[in-house]
Amino acid sequence: MPYSLLSSQISKKFSFCLGISISILSISAADAANKTGDNCGFPSYQDTISSNYQGQLFQLSDHYPKEFPNTSKPWENWNFKSDPQAYLNKIKAYIFAGMKEADWRPGQNKVHHWYHMPWVTMGRRAREGVRGLNRNADTKPYELAPTQSKPQQKWELSFYNNYAAYQIGQIWCHKGKTGLKVGEPDLTKTEFPEGSFIAKFVFITGTDKQLPFMKGAPTVLANINETIDRKSPKKVLPVRLVQIDFSIRDKRADSTTSWIMGAFVYDSNAKQGKNGIWDKMVPLGVQWGNDPTITPTMVKNGTKLKESVIMGKIPDYARRRLGYGSRLNGPLDFYGFSCLGCHSMAQWPKPLAKIPKGKTEAEKMHYFRNLKPDEPFQKGHISLDYQLHLENAFRNYFRNDQSAQADD
């Protein structure tokens, strides 16, 4: 679809939304920026937000660097193998720097400039307009706790450093100079450079009665569905932080996948520090490979994973949700998988359902290969270099249908 036509449709959508949620006569320049984006012309969101909500709206951070960055990468001096605990503590401090002052809105951070992915404002996982969260797969009853009798919504915010954002700009903001249509993604630019740092906040709905381990967790407001039904009306409601993920393109992992991934989870018993309740996000683990030769049976019989480390002290709910053969996997991730295993499936043009298939261990181990950044999960496809959020953006662009069903 030509980008000009998409922009026209978005403009009509925005006019409709503004007529309901915000007085069009009093809309400010900041409100306009929230809607239109400020660099490549991408919309920030397409939600209709109740006039009862008077707080801040989400603004897309899409001033993607036009020149390749040459900034420092301090994590290169932190050893994820010899001292994973210290490594994860430093990574968390890096992600948290400036966040409290920015009200935990990464795009407004003045210490580290973070960016967002365009083209995720539609479809099954459409971005909402208060915090910029995208809805992901719901958690089924009893997945997280024996008290969880109801399914819960899961909402996520991914954000990118300048190295990763430079590549996002190469994909989306070529403005037709490469022979592509304006707004059409450049599929030759899908490998992310060394130094790319991506983080993600993962939130969930649910009361203390449903999820007692989440009592006191960091909470934000977001324009989410009133019920578990994705077609139900939107309403500004609280969601609570369960998990923080990160991934880094690091040459020290070139012998496996070239990516290091890690996660933090909420622990109600952890100490609270200068960042308030957010400091109760404790290290879960770090992974730099899928251990493709180690099966769950081997782990059960005493073999230790070589490319994944789980911290010794983690909440019980998170330990119960570890991945295949105890690989790193967050409590809100697909059960029985791994961080790298799931992301290795990012490809185009045929996305795959993110659930390992097969009955035997040998069959399932096909999903735990150490693929290189330019190596697709299936031959004949284009690798998206472990970037599932980019896959969702491509799905939205090429399907060009707000009712498109994105695979969970």
pLDDT tens digits along 82-120: 999 999 999 999 999 999 999 999 999 999 999 999 999
- For helices 3-21 and 29-36, angle between their N-to-C axes, nearest 10 degrees: 140
In a domain, 395, yes or no: yes
**Whole-number percent of the chain with pLDDT over 90:** 81
In a domain, 407, yes or no: no
The DSSP call for residue 373 is T
Q: How far apart are CA 169 and CA 166, in angstroms?
A: 5
Full domain range(s) for residue 127: 3-399
| pLDDT tier for residue 179 given thresholds of 50, 70 and 90 | confident
In a domain, 141, yes or no: yes
pLDDT tens digits along 294-306: 999 999 999 999 9
In a domain, 10, yes or no: yes
Specify which residues 266 forms β-bridges with. 281
In a domain, 404, yes or no: no
Residue 54, Cα to own-chain centre: how many angstroms?
27
Mean pLDDT of 388-392: 97
Which position has the higher pLDDT, 287 or 182?
287
Decide if pLDDT at 35 tops 80: no
Q: How far apart are CA 309 and CA 288, in angstroms?
A: 9
User: Is 265 within 8 Å of 314 (Cβ atoms)?
Assistant: yes
pLDDT tens digits along 211-254: 999 999 999 999 999 999 999 999 999 999 999 999 999 999 99
In a domain, 350, yes or no: yes
Specify which residues 127 forms β-bridges with. 134
Which position has the higher pLDDT, 26 or 309?
309
Q: What pLDDT sits at residue 9? A: 34
| pLDDT tier for residue 10 given thresholds of 50, 70 and 90 | very low
Q: Which two tokens stand for residue 26?
A: 């009093």
Which position has the higher pLDDT, 29 or 193?
193
Q: What pLDDT sits at residue 399? A: 85
Decide if pLDDT at 6 tops 60: no
Q: What pLDDT sits at residue 116? A: 98
User: Is 336 within 8 Å of 324 (Cβ atoms)?
Assistant: yes
pTM score: 0.88
In a domain, 177, yes or no: yes
Decide if pLDDT at 18 tops 80: no
In a domain, 342, yes or no: yes
Decide if pLDDT at 403 tops 50: no
Q: What pLDDT sits at residue 280? A: 98
Number of structural domains (the chain) is 1
Beta strands 259-266 and 134-135 are: unpaired
| pLDDT tier for residue 36 given thresholds of 50, 70 and 90 | very low
Q: What pLDDT sits at residue 39? A: 61
**Please, what is the average pLDDT of the chain?**
88
Mean pLDDT of 197-206: 98
Decide if pLDDT at 37 tops 90: no
**Amino acid code (one letter) for 400:** N
Mean pLDDT of 47-67: 94
Query: Which of 21-30, 328-337, 394-403 is modeled with the greatest confidence?
Result: 328-337
